[in-house]
Amino acid sequence: MKRSKEDIVFSKLVRTMAGHRCEYCKRTDGQLDSAHIFGRRHRNTRWDVDNAVSLCRYHHRHFTENPVFFFDWLNEYLGTEKLDALRFKAHRIKKWKAVEKAEMYQDLKAKLADYEV
């Protein structure tokens, strides 16, 4: 799936919000990824910062290959209530109107700018 400008700023925001560290192992060296909890195909949560965690490349791959371990960690890290609410939101249908998508993109950029000050 091609990464859009929204995906790029979203990913940078998630990693910045996490202090440029892996939220699992806390490492700050090496490649960091923005890992979606519910995949990018879920349009309702694709650019929702609650739907992503910052992971080092190793743990992103590990959790992708071992989704049960990822779920167990997320359940402990985020809590059952937050994970359930996110699951509910992810499985709702969302069709972005052009103006909504533009506003969401500007909002993500503004949040990122606030962190970078």
What pTM does this model have? 0.92
pLDDT of 1 higher than 80: no
Q: Report pLDDT for 116.
A: 81
pLDDT of 11 higher than 90: yes
In which band, very low, low, confident or very high, does the pLDDT at 30 lie, cut at 50, 70 and 90?
confident
Instruction: Tell me what percent of the chain is helix, strand and coil, each rounded to the nearest 5.
Output: 55, 10, 35
pLDDT of 18 higher than 90: yes
CB 62 within 8 A of CB 87: no
